[in-house]
Amino acid sequence: MALTSKLPGVSTTIFTVMSELAREEGALNLSQGYPDFDGPPALLERVQHYLTHGHNQYAPMMGVPALREAIADKVLDLYGCRVDAERDVTVTSGATEALFCAISATVHPGDEVLVFDPAYDSYEPAVTLQGARTVHVPTHPPAFSVDWDRVAKLINDRTRMIIINSPHNPTGAVWNAHDIDCLQRIVQGRDIYLLSDEVYEHMVFDGREHVSLCRYPDLFQRSFVVSSFGKTYHTTGWKIGYCVAPSALSDEFRRVHQFVTFTSITPVQLGIADFLSAHPEHHLQLGDFYQAKRDLFCALLDDSPFSLVPSAGTYFQLLDYSAYSDEMDTELAVRLTREKKLASIPMSVFYEHDPGHRMLRFCFAKDDETLRRGAEILCSL
């Protein structure tokens, strides 16, 4: 039998490719975005408690009540948005599942979905599987700001969703009040949903403020807001995320979610609920924690052949290598991994078309010694 692929243009993700190459070569892995340190001890203790005290069966499909209530409290505390923990909050098996469910719940064949390039690679496949078309709006260094006039020209009656990602992976760009004003004007009076990927919401630097769509009632009423405990608590392998959306949207979201993963690991949900309620200082201090790592990594690169603009958010830093090499970024990323034993992520793979600039993405969610080792390799080039 000949299988006709629904995703013929999709291959293994760049994150898997570069991490596997790093493993094969014994290279320092600053490519895939995960910490090389563990989660908070108090959180690990609470999960261990539930693992060994009989909480290992199915959780409710929408998530354990204690965690949904803690999420609702956090959203109110940070963004002034009062949501119903029972109706408006759904716990998912990672943010990627939440993104997929939101797209599947709202996007139909023939629809169009706007994304901002460089765009995280899970968006377009989910759109394609719905029989819809992804419309790419490129952004460019150094600011990677949105050309809102261009966005306005691309909006039409087929536009069903705009996907937002701030703080932005892979660029580290952070939206501001101007972006929100422009977005509000563009969607006003239109049947357009918003999917806001906010997994790096607590990693915003230099006095900036995260402009969650939960802050804006007119935008939130049409939004799915997605975040990740894996990013916040240095536990990416647990794959626990969540979606906050108005009840009518959450109802549709859950219709899909219940047939994707149904529910997520119970003892981890319960442990996170305890820790989130008892230790809000963790997420409140996370920006300072990662800004210190960003500053260290950038300072260590003063004598390197790379140029950079310090990341405004996330735990990723872009390095411009145009003064060092004229290689394609995909070629250079592989060569540095094989020859210099340092893995990174090429930026061009996140664009619909080659952007023409020469940049690599490095993850600084690492202990300080790892960052020093990586910077030493880069400075030796």
Task: List 360's β-bridge partners, or say none.
Answer: 319, 346
pLDDT tens for each residue of 227-259: 999 999 999 999 999 999 999 999 999 999 999
With beta carbons less than 8 A apart as the criterion, state whether 322 and 306 touch.
Answer: no
CATH of 41-279, one of 3.40.640.10, 3.40.50.970, 3.40.50.300, 3.30.70.330: 3.40.640.10
Please give the DSSP secondary-structure letter assigned to residue 366: S
Report the distance separating Cα 381 and Cα 378, nearest Å. 6
Q: CA-CA distance, 167 to 152, in Å (whole number)?
A: 22
Question: pLDDT by residue (tens digit) across 294-304?
Answer: 999 999 999 99
Distances, alpha carbon 304 to alpha carbons 141, 189, 206, 237, 375, in Å: 19, 50, 23, 33, 8
Residue 312 has pLDDT above 90, yes or no: yes
User: What's the confidence (pLDDT) of residue 286?
Assistant: 98
State how far the Cα of 191 lies from the Cα of 79, in Å rounded to an integer: 24
Distance of alpha carbon 179 from alpha carbon 209, whole angstroms:
13
Spell out the residues 6+ positions from residue 149 whose beta carbon is closer than 8 angstroms to its own: none
Do 41-279 and 14-39+282-379 have the same topology in CATH?
no
For the domain 14-39+282-379, what is the CATH superfamily, name and number?
Aspartate Aminotransferase, domain 1 (3.90.1150.10)
Residue 210 has pLDDT above 90, yes or no: yes
DSSP, collapsed to helix, strand or coil, labels residue 363 as strand
pTM above 0.85, yes or no: yes
Give residue-wise pLDDT tens across range 323-338. 999 999 999 999 999 9
- Going by pLDDT thresholds of 50, 70 and 90, the confidence category of residue 17 is very high
Residue pair 360/346 in contact (Cβ under 8 Å)? The answer is: yes
> 345-367, pLDDT tens digit by residue?
999 999 999 888 999 999 999 99
Instruction: Give domain limits for the chain.
Output: 14-39+282-379, 41-279
pLDDT tens figures, 75-101: 999 999 999 999 999 999 999 999 999
Do 207 and 186 touch, CB atoms closer than 8 A? no
One-letter-per-residue 3-state SS of 19-83: HHHHHHHCCEECCCCCCCCCCCHHHHHHHHHHHCCCCCCCCCCCCCHHHHHHHHHHHHHHHCCCC
The DSSP code sequence of 291-346 is HHHHHHHHHHTTTSS-B----SBTTEEEEE-TTT--S-HHHHHHHIIIII-EE-EE
pLDDT above 90 for 10: no
* Inter-residue contact 123 to 134 (CB < 8 Å): yes
Q: What percent of the chain has pLDDT over 70?
A: 100
Cis peptide before 167 (omega within 30 of 0): yes
